[in-house]
Structure 1
Amino acid sequence: MKTPFVTLEQVEELVKEYPTPFHLYDEKGIRENARKLKEAFSWNKGFREYFAVKATPNPFLLKILQEEGCGTDCSSMTELMMSEALGFQNKDIMFSSNVTPEEEYVKAKELGAFINLDDFTHIEFLERTCGIPETIFCRYNPGGFFKLGTDIMDNPGDAKYGFTKEQLIEGFKILKSKGVKNFGIHSFLASNTVTNEYYPMLAKVLFELAVEVKEKTGADIKYINLSGGVGIPYKPDQEGNDIMEIGIGVKKAFEEILVPNGMGDVSIFTELGRFMLAPYGCLVTKVIHQKHIYKEYIGVDACAVNLMRPAIYGAYHHISVLGKEDAACDFKYDVTGSLCENNDKFAIDRMLPKINIGDYLVIHDTGAHGFAMGYNYNGKLKSAEVLLKEDGSAQLIRRKETPEDYFATFDFCDILKDVKY
């Protein structure tokens, strides 16, 4: 059973000022989760979380994470600019990009960010573009399939990211000859894992790799970045990760592999996005239509523009009908938006309480890769983002888009200036 962090009474007050749909975030939950992650890795004196900005690029939320000691993981120019504007600087920023334009490397170098190279050919590209810094990370791709138990399988060999092991070893030799003094290794093998075994297994792979690379290159490996991949239980019957157990598992691998090889001072980094924020955000939407044809449809005022994961992945997001949390789920519905696409559905054949027009729905776990993936198909406008603060008050942290925003990039804006809407 998933319980919303907001009540019907709270939403009825919120909508007086912020009409649906809107994304709502829970400040208390965000802060508590960040502190728990930090505690789980407190055994490593250099540990730091670099929040994946792409998951939830909102400056108010980044500021909360900054206050909790997190850095930012950026993948584009605008994410670097946002981090800079918020006061993240130097080693507060990890720049992990691929197919990277010159100007983005230049910006990252100007900021003094950690640069994480995605490809062997980027060594020469970076040197020609802006020069090679004294500290550099390289992303490792082990190839083949990554399998963990019966549930987790991914295919690094089909991913566009990273160096092969041979390229990594040769790359470290080249970078060392060009003046690099401090090295980091980064890898990402699987997405949204709901198991306490993923990070420890990834850590073992990277720790053993670090020992081998150090032996073969003499590189001083200061950092190992476990990246993201620790997921959340989107379905109510799933058991979530225990970050404390995960921290213990990584510590065990650290003490078994790195410490005996004289690498006990290596700092561990993470780049979590979904784990950090997804459960602490939801999409609040209002039922505006019902349709009775071959199936029963519930039409809401949100659509895939506001949350596209169900449309593109068939991803499950739990839905609560506010005020009916304890009611029997004995009605089967498709919950849909208004786009001219049949995949614009938040749920298909979902058992829910009886829904009436005017009911408010909470679509859970949208705090990461929710608003961030929005778009403007059908001329739809992105919704507002609202923060439910620790003291119970609400703060608008991104206003909803307006038609003026949508038209602003057209050269013929003057033609539209007198249009009424």
Structure 2
Amino acid sequence: MKKTPFVTKEKLEEIIRDVPTPFHIYDEKGIRKNAQAVKEAFAWNPGFREYFAVKATPTPALIKILKEYDCGCDCSSMTELMLSEAMGFDGDHIMFSSNDTPLTEYKKANDIHAIINLDDFTSIADIEEALGYVPKRICCRYNPGGLFELSNGIMDNPGDSKYGMTTDQLFQAFRILKEKGVEEFGIHAFLASNTVTNEYYPKLAEVLFNLAVKLQNVTGAHIGFINLSGGVGIPYKPWEEPNDIHVIGEGVHKVYDKILVPAGMGDVKIFTEMGRFMMGPYGALVTRAIHEKHIYKEYIGVDACAVNLMRPAMYGAYHHITVMGKENAECDHKYDIVGSLCENNDKFAIDRMLPEIKKGDILYIHDTGAHGFSMGYNYNGKLWSAEILLKADGSYEMIRRPETPKDYFATLDFTLEYRKMFGEK
């Protein structure tokens, strides 16, 4: 499988005349096509809703596109709740999945009628302290412990995760919450990350659907929805096969009909909270080569750095790189592609075979639409980059301006000395 940029070199050169590199660019056409596919894949479930993980890409212009396809927002903090509220999402379209949660955030979530997803058994007391009562609708996050393995060798370790309740705690939580007046329950679990397989959701669904039947039978609690969370991944590497959301949706459908329908639970709504799958492939980091260095290795320095995309530095994550205008050239040069931070892990690629790169070349770093811009930071005084939307009609729009030095200093005590820097009295 060949990775192809969703924008041409000519269009990027046009944008660069207005917006300095580096910047993140997003593909409206691709986002819309994918959102429609997700909706169709789960159309068999009348109550289905995708709650987009705001943490993946907290950019209103992009989330508003998803809103047109009845997506909601999955939030994990006060500011994400505020952002969702400001964009006009109602409570049914907001899921609050937090952990280690300040009481003020429970109160905010409840004030806007969001669905609160409790991470821990002790959170029952916390939410009661915050609100003075327990909402009529509540969700609980489940952690089965041990290992979660799929037949293709993908494995994750829920037992080493800080999230969710044990099986015993979950049953106890349902009993207590029912006694406190909860009328509608949800179950949530996230057991594996970035799975590039159509098996993950159906396998997770089997675990949660069986659990739901037992919970309802033992506690008498009414389970209204089951949240399969995220974990559906994307093919960062060009040789990986992408997930097929229609196959995934049908796989969940079969398990639903096998387990829930015979148990008289055929009205349970299915929720998801995908971030990476919804947005990841439809974003890219655009940067220019500005320096080359020849020592023990061959280095190409670009004007982006780990503050623009930290996944390679943080995880050693692979992001494919296209040298624009040289898509068909032979990859016969071995480079480390690096940024300018005072950290040796500030590398987008190590020993990567690419076409020959000259200063001024535009590099397109693929699959940054989720956990790309959102994980940025200001180390070394670096400033946040712009975000650009490539619209479906071929035009483009700046949906977030680049940060300025004045923005960077804005939270400091603005003494006369600082004001002089910006020509202010």
Q: Give me the TM-score of the superposition, normalised by structure 1.
A: 0.99
- The separation in 1 between residues aligned to 2:181 and 2:61, in whole angstroms, is 38
Query: Which residue type is aligned with residue 307 of structure 2?
Result: V
Q: How far off is 1:412 after superposition?
A: 3.7
* Structure 1 unmatched runs, 5+: none
Query: Which residue type is aligned with residue 165 of structure 2?
Result: F
Write the deviation string for residues 136-191 of structure 1: whole angstroms up to 9, x where unpaired: 00000000111112431111111111111111111001000000000000000000
> What is residue 289 of structure 2 aligned with on the other side?
287
Q: How far off is 1:60 after superposition?
A: 0.6
Write the deviation string for residues 312-357 of structure 1: whole angstroms up to 9, x where unpaired: 1000000000001111111100000000000000000000011110
> What is residue 419 of structure 1 aligned with on the other side?
421
Contact 1:335 1:347 in 2 (8 A): yes
Counterparts in 2 of 1:154-233, with a 5 A limit?
154-233=156-235
- The separation in 2 between residues aligned to 1:165 and 1:266, in whole angstroms, is 21
Write the deviation string for residues 189-245 of structure 1: whole angstroms up to 9, x where unpaired: 000000000000000000000001111100000100000000000000000100000
**Aligned counterpart in structure 2 of residue 312 of structure 1, from 311, 314, 322:** 314
> What is residue 107 of structure 2 aligned with on the other side?
106
- The separation in 2 between residues aligned to 1:72 and 1:175, in whole angstroms, is 25
Work out whether 1:351 is the aligned partner of 2:373.
no
> What is residue 71 of structure 1 aligned with on the other side?
72
State the aligned residue count: 421
Write the deviation string for residues 356-398 of structure 1: whole angstroms up to 9, x where unpaired: 1000000000000000000000010010000000011110110
Counterparts in 2 of 1:22-33, with a 5 A limit?
22-33=23-34
Work out whether 1:236 is the aligned partner of 2:238.
yes
Query: Which residue type is aligned with residue 310 of structure 2?
Result: M
Q: Structure 1 residues 271 and 413 mapped into 2: Cα distance closer, same or farther (>3 Å)? A: farther
Q: How far off is 1:68 after superposition?
A: 1.6
Q: How far off is 1:420 after superposition?
A: 6.2
Q: How far off is 1:69 after superposition?
A: 1.1
Query: Which residue type is aligned with residue 355 of structure 2?
Result: P
SS in 2 for 1:223: strand
Q: Structure 1 residues 153 and 414 mapped into 2: Cα distance closer, same or farther (>3 Å)? A: farther
Q: Give me the TM-score of the superposition, normalised by structure 2.
A: 0.98
> What is residue 384 of structure 2 aligned with on the other side?
382
SS in 2 for 1:224: strand
> What is residue 151 of structure 1 aligned with on the other side?
153
Counterparts in 2 of 1:355-374, with a 5 A limit?
355-374=357-376
Query: Which residue type is aligned with residue 385 of structure 1?
Result: E
Contact 2:27 2:391 in 1 (8 A): yes
Contact 2:120 2:165 in 1 (8 A): yes
- The separation in 2 between residues aligned to 1:76 and 1:243, in whole angstroms, is 28
- The separation in 1 between residues aligned to 2:238 and 2:409, in whole angstroms, is 41
- The separation in 1 between residues aligned to 2:344 and 2:415, in whole angstroms, is 32
- The separation in 2 between residues aligned to 1:242 and 1:46, in whole angstroms, is 21
- The separation in 1 between residues aligned to 2:289 and 2:121, in whole angstroms, is 52
- The separation in 1 between residues aligned to 2:255 and 2:152, in whole angstroms, is 22
Q: How far off is 1:413 after superposition?
A: 4.4
SS in 1 for 2:66: helix
**Aligned counterpart in structure 1 of residue 140 of structure 2, from 138, 141, 145:** 138
* Structure 2 unmatched runs, 5+: none
> What is residue 80 of structure 1 aligned with on the other side?
81
Contact 2:406 2:422 in 1 (8 A): no
> What is residue 339 of structure 2 aligned with on the other side?
337
- The separation in 2 between residues aligned to 1:177 and 1:290, in whole angstroms, is 67
- The separation in 2 between residues aligned to 1:145 and 1:205, in whole angstroms, is 13
- The separation in 2 between residues aligned to 1:393 and 1:406, in whole angstroms, is 30
SS in 1 for 2:177: helix
SS in 1 for 2:260: helix
- The separation in 1 between residues aligned to 2:249 and 2:204, in whole angstroms, is 12
Query: Which residue type is aligned with residue 216 of structure 2?
Result: K
Write the deviation string for residues 272-323 of structure 1: whole angstroms up to 9, x where unpaired: 0000000000000001011111110000000000000000100000000000
- The separation in 2 between residues aligned to 1:249 and 1:413, in whole angstroms, is 61
Q: How far off is 1:8 after superposition?
A: 0.6
Contact 2:24 2:385 in 1 (8 A): yes
Work out whether 1:52 is the aligned partner of 2:40.
no
- The separation in 1 between residues aligned to 2:137 and 2:245, in whole angstroms, is 29
RMSD: 0.9
Work out whether 1:116 is the aligned partner of 2:117.
yes
Contact 2:73 2:84 in 1 (8 A): yes
SS in 2 for 1:285: strand
- The separation in 1 between residues aligned to 2:343 and 2:272, in whole angstroms, is 37
Contact 1:407 1:413 in 2 (8 A): no
SS in 2 for 1:106: helix
- The separation in 1 between residues aligned to 2:209 and 2:148, in whole angstroms, is 16
**Aligned counterpart in structure 2 of residue 270 of structure 1, from 261, 269, 272:** 272
Query: Which residue type is aligned with residue 212 of structure 2?
Result: A
Query: Which residue type is aligned with residue 166 of structure 1?
Result: D
SS in 2 for 1:183: strand
SS in 1 for 2:181: coil
- The separation in 1 between residues aligned to 2:128 and 2:235, in whole angstroms, is 43
